[in-house]
Copies of this chain bind each other. A is one copy, B any other.
Amino acid sequence: MSRNTIQQDIICSTVKSMSTHPSPDEVFEALHKEYPSIGRATVYRVLNKLANKGEIKKVNLPHTADRFDFRTDDHIHIHCKKCNRVFDVDFHAIEGLIDYLDKVLTLNNPLKINGFEITGANFSFEGICKDCRHNKQDTV
């Protein structure tokens, strides 16, 4: 039912080579020079398909467009509200948080919160990144 195509391979390996949490358009731009025949709509469709298959992940951030992450392990993101970039949080003091969230989910799942079937929890930090703090005059 599902077919393998060259486009899917190219899009998959492109997004997996980008550590910047790219938007679909950024993935499109990254492969467009080398593969100008691949269309924007295909990039959108394939990225969502890869995310549904679990090959990559959609980053769960409020108030910004979709981005994708080649890392599929649980980790936390921090979003710069000024330059709109996204970074991984790899700080030891955060380590307990994911375990805590897991515990909360386990305690309350399934169907314990307002009759919901909980399928996930979203957590992220937001702030101003190092670069933007050091360049306060810039609009970025």
Chain A residues engaging chain B, CB cutoff 8 angstroms = 58-63, 66, 78, 80-81, 87, 89-91, 93-94, 97, 100, 104, 107-108, 111-130, 133
Specify which of A87, A112, A124 lies most central, judged by the most chain B CB atoms within 10 Å of its CB: A124
For A94, list chain B residues within 8 Å (CB). 104, 108, 113
Let me know if B108 and A104 touch, CB within 8 A. no
Taken together, the copies of this chain in the complex come to 2
A90-B114, A113-B125 known, 4 other contacts, Cβ within 8 Å: A94-B108, A111-B133, A114-B130, A121-B125
Residue pair B119, A122 in contact (C-beta under 8 Å): no
Q: A62-B62, A108-B91, A114-B87 are in contact. Are A124 and B126 (CB under 8 A)?
A: no
Contact, CB under 8 Å: A119 / B81? yes
Flag if B93 contacts A104 (CB, 8 Å).
Answer: yes
**A91 — which chain B residues lie within 8 A by C-beta?**
108, 112-114
What residues on B are CB-neighbors of A113 within 8 Å?
78, 89, 91, 94, 125, 127
